[in-house]
């Protein structure tokens, strides 16, 4: 059985930057999503096909959900790119982390075997990066909506201000460890079950992790949506 490691394993250096197996898979996911986005843009027509219809159906459902939180279709469409991008990137990364090549294909260096791919969210650096982008993005959107001086003045009140400022860092930590803990625990579960009872027995756990990967992406994006609504609440009203 492959040694379970909390830290993502380093594969090689690229321009002085260490590339880990989690970073490699997240890069692959990014390239696939970008390529798919360009493909959809090229194939976008007024008479949509099945793929475009399905994508538009998903976007409409997401906009309806955002409307219930933000209270306005105009505001929902404005912040759709952030929420949809976070959800799509996390859920696809989680599902790619469940592919058979993840954890089973690797490289040998000095008699040490290292898996070539690792689920991105099973690396705390990945979840910290996504959480930082989410929290800073929320504050940036709030400042753009309400004005920089008006928005950031809440951090400089006598009593509540320092607590508000500290809570932003708590959000990053909470986001990061929630996503990391659930995905890493699922990865460990699949490794142990697959080693002890191989073949068809791990399949129910695999389907469970598919569901968990979706739910974690949904929770992360919905929390970001709620924080966006709080940041621009004066505009929504």
What value, to the nearest 5°, has the Cα angle with vertex 51 and ends 49 and 70?
110
Question: Mean pLDDT across the stretch 45-66?
Answer: 85
- 199 vs 56 pLDDT, higher one: 56
Please say if the pLDDT value at position 156 is more than 70.
yes
Angle formed by the axes of helices 73-96 and 124-146, nearest 10°: 170
Place of tokens 């959800």: 87
Q: What is the pLDDT averaged over residues 77-106? A: 88
Question: Which bin fits 65, alpha (ψ -120 to 50), beta or left (φ > 0)?
Answer: alpha
User: Considering the entire predicted model, what is its pTM?
Assistant: 0.85
- Mean pLDDT in residue range 207-222: 90
* Every domain of the chain and the residues it spans: 10-236
Average pLDDT over residues 139-154: 86
Res. 177: pLDDT tops 50:
yes
pLDDT of residue 5: 72
Q: What is the dihedral sign for C-alpha 17, 22, 25, 30?
A: negative
Q: What is the pLDDT of residue 109?
A: 72
Handedness of CA 162, 148, 128, 172 (dihedral sign): positive
Percent of the chain with pLDDT over 70: 91
Q: How far is CA 4 from the centre of its chain?
A: 22
Q: pLDDT exceeding 90 applies to what percent of the chain?
A: 28
Ranges of beta strands (E only) in 82-191 are 106-109, 112-115
Three-class SS of residue 200?
A: coil
**Cα separation, 16 vs 20, whole angstroms:** 13
Question: How far is it, in rounded angstroms, from Cα 230 to Cα 54?
Answer: 31
| Between residues 66 and 154, the one the model is more confident about | 66
Helix axis angle for 124-146 and 160-196, nearest 10°, is 150
- pLDDT over 70 at 235, yes or no: no
Residue 146, pLDDT > 60, answer yes
């Amino acid at each position: 059985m492959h040694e379970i490691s909390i830290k993502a394993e380093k594969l090689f250096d690229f321009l002085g930057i260490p590339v880990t197996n989690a970073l490699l898979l997240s890069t692959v996911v990014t390239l696939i999503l970008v390529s798919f986005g360009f493909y959809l843009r090229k194939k976008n027509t007024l008479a949509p096909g099945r793929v475009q219809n399905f994508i538009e159906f998903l976007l409409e459902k997401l906009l309806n959900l955002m409307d219930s939180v933000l209270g306005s279709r105009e505001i929902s469409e404005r912040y759709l790119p952030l929420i949809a991008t976070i959800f799509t990137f996390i859920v696809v990364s989680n599902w790619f982390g469940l592919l058979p090549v993840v954890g089973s294909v690797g490289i040998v260096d000095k008699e040490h075997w290292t898996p070539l791919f690792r689920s991105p969210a099973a690396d705390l650096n990945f979840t910290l990066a996504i959480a930082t982008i989410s929290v800073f993005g929320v504050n940036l959107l709030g400042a753009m909506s309400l004005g920089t001086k008006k928005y950031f003045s809440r951090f400089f009140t006598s009593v509540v201000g320092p607590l508000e400022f500290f809570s932003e860092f708590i959000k990053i930590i909470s986001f990061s460890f929630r996503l990391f803990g659930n995905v890493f625990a699922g990865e460990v579960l699949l490794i142990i079950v697959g080693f002890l009872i191989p073949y068809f027995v791990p399949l129910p756990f695999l389907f469970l992790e598919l569901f968990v990967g979706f739910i974690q992406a949904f929770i992360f994006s919905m929390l970001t949506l709620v924080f966006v609504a709080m940041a621009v609440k004066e505009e929504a009203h």
